[in-house]
Structure 1
């Protein structure tokens, strides 16, 4: 589907009511948030940046949710993550993005339940328990080699050069694959499937800046330029705000893998802000055409949210030698 020159996915229903009002309908809210068919934040931002329109979103409700955070199936945990994203996005973009009144009940219910858990420190994140491994899936394998390259000493230097060019603070430490599952409970023993709220994904790269910002990076290679990069990073940034910035997190150091002890120490002393970076050699054309405006919209309330987003472009050739070395070691 094309709308005002914007190429939109066929599996999200878009209805243009007039020049300034658009309706979006998500048929499958349980899908992976990086899929074009589920990345509502990304498409909403692309539309807003291009047309300066107001958006109302509706979705197919998941009727099997019993309004609890107990014994959720896999689809239900994806639905919980969808409700969380929709709550956070509608709150941040409230001037122009609304949830259809017919669909708001589940979002409000989730919000009440989540905030109650947070107030009572009754949710807990999972932590790294071993070193990250390169994916055996061809789809993610090449991306993981690039990710591994950036956490080497030379790769970290390249990343810090890129940050310096954008007048961003340099990283003191850099690590990869930070888990972002969430469970009901406050003890390590509560981290089990029957208490799961969110499915476990992983933040590609993360680090602590010289100013004690928690810096997170959503990494892509040029063969993976879906708009979903925006939805992924938006979720990760808000998760880090609720868990690490607000100090409702797993402070039981079960292992020292992937820098979690350094993260724990920084959380204890106080994270200054969340710096959320898109990191790719190129972006989807609908992002590229209004990239600066999208970044501006995302950051309009950064002083309140303590989250700041920025697009970064890395040159693959500058790290190719490190990537090739990693590939040879693995093979």
Structure 2
């Protein structure tokens, strides 16, 4: 069973005739196994795009088709030239985390995932270099500011645009491992021993990729929390965007839980409550104190 047949079943079950699968990913269900075959373009694309967001598609299809899908294989060709190595490195990290998190997910390529166990110890994360722009740029930025202003009383601290660029040993353009610049957490907050991470989308941006994006940010921050990835030494001097409070909380092991929140007026029609339940159904995430939820904006 391939894309057209899968779409037909999804439309029947969801009672939504607008449900589609990305044409750039080949989906195949056979003998209880879902194979998600990503193109070279997909593995180098923005992680929230339909052609790259394998986490979202895997979780949605498995949650909607539990009688047909027991295992999920993420497949791609690791031997071909890749057009964007930074996005590709992030893709491989995402794969590694996904198959670690869910016992029903497997690497369907020939790429050796042990690579990341060795390299993580050399990675550092960048941090804010200035305050956020005084004037919000764009609709989602305005929504971010409004949400932060309205929620200040509910958290010990809440702020925006936390960089999560990954670098090798030092923060520099030459040592960049994954995309930087716009690679930032929309909103973050601290309350007691919990770090909250919010991925905000405006009402006309309802892509499945919100799952992939939030999972990536949560996994990066969890690796920082557990000191698998570190901030560079000069990060302790930063006070922009309340980063010093976050840094000190991480450095003193005060953060024990991470909660990732989808923050939107509405989600993609395939992101049902069952999908979020499946997203949280992981022994690894429970052990690491990670939890996801949907907050209506």
Bin for the TM-score computed over the shorter chain: 0.7 to 0.9
CA contact (8 A) 2:185 2:198 kept: yes
> 1:135 Cα deviation (Å)?
6.7
CA contact (8 A) 1:183 1:191 kept: yes
1:15 pairs with 2:32: no
Which residue in 2 is equivalent to 1:129? 129
CA distance in 2: counterparts of 1:99 and 1:32, whole angstroms:
20
Out of 1, 10, 19, the position equivalent to 1:5 is 10
CA contact (8 A) 1:176 1:203 kept: yes
1:274 pairs with 2:286: no
Matches within 5 A, 1:159-178: 160=154, 171-178=155-162
CA contact (8 A) 1:127 1:250 kept: no
CA contact (8 A) 2:63 2:275 kept: yes
1:243 pairs with 2:224: yes
Out of 192, 210, 213, the position equivalent to 2:172 is 192
CA distance in 2: counterparts of 1:227 and 1:62, whole angstroms:
28
CA distance in 2: counterparts of 1:114 and 1:243, whole angstroms:
14
CA distance in 2: counterparts of 1:303 and 1:23, whole angstroms:
26
Scaled by the length of structure 1, what TM-score is found? Answer: 0.77
Out of 142, 146, 150, the position equivalent to 1:145 is 142
Which residue in 1 is equivalent to 2:50? 36
Q: Deviations over 1:20-68 (max 9, x none)?
A: 2221101020100000110000000001101121221211326447xxx
CA distance in 1: counterparts of 2:124 and 2:30, whole angstroms:
43
Which residue in 1 is equivalent to 2:113? 107
1:207 pairs with 2:189: yes
Which residue in 2 is equivalent to 1:216? 197
Matches within 5 A, 1:304-315: 304-314=287-297
CA distance in 1: counterparts of 2:80 and 2:128, whole angstroms:
34
- Structure 1: 5+ residue runs without aligned partners? 66-73, 161-170, 315-331
1:25 pairs with 2:37: yes
Q: Deviations over 1:182-209 (max 9, x none)?
A: 1111xxxx21111111112000000111
Q: Deviations over 1:137-184 (max 9, x none)?
A: xxxx100110111222x3434xx4xxxxxxxxxx21000000000111
Scaled by the length of structure 2, what TM-score is found? Answer: 0.85
1:179 pairs with 2:163: yes
CA contact (8 A) 1:295 1:309 kept: yes
- Alignment size in residue pairs: 271
Matches within 5 A, 1:223-242: 223-242=204-223
CA-atom RMSD in angstroms: 1.9
CA contact (8 A) 1:214 1:273 kept: yes
CA contact (8 A) 1:129 1:254 kept: no
